[in-house]
Amino acid sequence: MEQRRKQEGHLKAPGNWINDPNGFIFYKGKYHLFYQYFPYAPIWGTMHWGHAVSEDLVSWEHVGIALFPTKEGDQNGCFSGSAVEQDGRMVLFYTGVHYHAADPENIHLCPDDQFDSCQMRIDSEDGMHFDNFGGKRVVIPPIGDRRCGDRTHTRDPKVWRGRNGWYMVLGSRSEDGKGKLLFYRSEDLETWSYVNEAGKGDGWGWMWECPDYFETDGGQALVFSPMRFLKDGKWEENQAICMAVNFEEENCRMQLPDTWQYLDYGLDLYAPQSTVDEEGRRVLIAWLRMPRAVEQEEAVPWRGMFCLPRVVEMKEGHIYFRVHPHVKKRYCRPLSDVKEAGEEGYRIGLFLEEGGCVDVGGYRITRRGNRVCTDRSHVFCREENYRTVFETPFVKEGNRLDIYVDDHMVEVYVNDGEYVISNAVYGMSRELRISGGREVELFGYC
């Protein structure tokens, strides 16, 4: 069985398992997207970094494994991190994990969280070749002072260039079990000094994964993924949220508001990461969590994919996620029927009236009480603990929908990114029924 190397539209696992996007960067004329990768089975395991490249954020090629465990610090996994460019070189930062003890029945698991986490660095002259045996080094060892952070649960370095040096934010937890952020500063990307922390008294979950701070049109933004943010026992309690913040670079002081948004109201996306594209736009991508693998004839089973790249903007404190113009431009072939669409899927554009419904092969999109709602009950797993019905908050700006359909993912953009609902799906048919819609557009990939 073969793994797929080239893909159009949604970027999917080349085979087996992927999760968090890592090291997202525009470097030497190409977009590089690394990702958490377990290359041996469609289940979570010892993490490697897979690697995909693109010239336009639409056509992707998987180019193999970039990072894999070789050192004591990353013996049990090369976990999430980020990329920057320094003097023409690509520099990756990631979390290395070392188990004190492994599960004797599955060495990829660690019972009772008996592991250490450190932050590591590796360089590349061309962004394609990485010396896993001789090029890695620890830049922040496991944290020994519980008052600062957690030795086990401190991870996911996001590094950026500020006005006065290099900065890093890490996700961690406090002594009393509440999530928080740790900020570090460096002059040379080698020596890092702790500067400050940020958190909330009510906790917002017990650990904050994959933090990403950035400035965008309209203000400063923070995106992160608090673990056990929801406490209803359903899949998945860990969620990605975002908010407008105030960050003072001089002392790394960050003020967090009381209000927040979900990154995506389908509640399937997690661990987002952003970069700046070739035209200076802030672009974000996130992992779509899938509860089971996709089995295909003559292909390696795969599990995990990414949402379409989204341009992030802010207006009056509200964060918008808009389909990247490169993507929208590629869904331009008029269709008379969705059966004419190819493997890359199709886009529906319309205005949906109150009470209207778009049924995409069993996946239902409705508008009720000026909220957009989705229901995947008929095209998803039947277990009771899965969420199947979703809705946006009250929609303020109109009733325009742009719907991007893939065999295993549907993304519903409301009013050009005022809100988005993205859902994993299985077994949709090639049927489309619309009631209460006007100015309907139907386009395939071109």
Q: What is the CATH number of the domain that holds 25?
A: 2.115.10.20
**In this structure, is residue 287 part of a structural domain?**
yes
Residues 89 and 165 in one domain: yes
Residues 306 and 354 in one domain: no
- Extract the tokens encoding 124: 């590349």
- Burial (CB count within 10 angstroms: exposed 0-12, middle 13-18, buried 19+), residue 355: exposed
Residues 181 and 258 in one domain: yes
Residues 18 and 153 in one domain: yes
Residues 313 and 408 in one domain: no
Domain that holds residue 175: 6-325
What per-residue confidence (pLDDT) applies to 201?
A: 78
What per-residue confidence (pLDDT) applies to 406?
A: 97
What per-residue confidence (pLDDT) applies to 1?
A: 54
Q: What is the CATH number of the domain that holds 430?
A: 2.60.120.560
Q: Are 37 and 65 in contact (CB under 8 A)?
A: yes
Among 325, 357, 386, the domain-final residue is 325
Three-class HEC string of 218-265: CEEEEEEEECCCCCCCCECCCCCEEEEEEEECCCCEEECCCCCEECCC
What per-residue confidence (pLDDT) applies to 98?
A: 98
**In this structure, is residue 112 part of a structural domain?**
yes
Residues 430 and 386 in one domain: yes
Residues 350 and 321 in one domain: no
Residues 217 and 275 in one domain: yes
What per-residue confidence (pLDDT) applies to 2?
A: 62
Residues 168 and 291 in one domain: yes
Among 263, 298, 325, the domain-final residue is 325
DSSP H or E stretch at residue 11: none
Nearest residue to 179 via CA among 143, 197, 155, 206: 206
pLDDT digit string (tens) for the chain, length 446 residues: 567 689 999 999 999 999 999 999 999 999 999 999 999 999 999 999 999 999 999 999 999 999 999 999 999 999 999 999 999 999 999 999 999 999 999 999 999 999 999 999 999 999 999 999 999 999 999 999 999 999 999 999 999 999 999 999 999 999 999 999 999 999 999 999 999 999 997 769 999 999 999 999 899 999 999 999 999 999 999 999 999 999 999 999 999 999 999 999 999 999 999 999 999 999 999 999 999 999 988 889 999 999 999 999 999 999 999 999 999 999 999 999 999 999 999 999 999 999 999 999 999 999 999 999 999 999 999 888 999 999 999 999 899 999 999 999 999 999 999 999 999 999 999 999 999 999 999 999 99
Return phi, psi of residue 332, to 5°. Answer: -130, 5
Among 325, 350, 372, the domain-final residue is 325
**In this structure, is residue 304 part of a structural domain?**
yes
Q: Are 70 and 133 in contact (CB under 8 A)?
A: yes
Residues 172 and 287 in one domain: yes
**In this structure, is residue 1 part of a structural domain?**
no
Residues 402 and 284 in one domain: no
Q: Are 402 and 323 in contact (CB under 8 A)?
A: yes
Counting the structural domains of the chain, the total is: 2
Residues 74 and 219 in one domain: yes
Q: Dihedral of the CA atoms 48, 52, 58, 59 (nearest 10)? A: -140
**In this structure, is residue 356 part of a structural domain?**
yes
Secondary structure (3-state) at 137 = strand
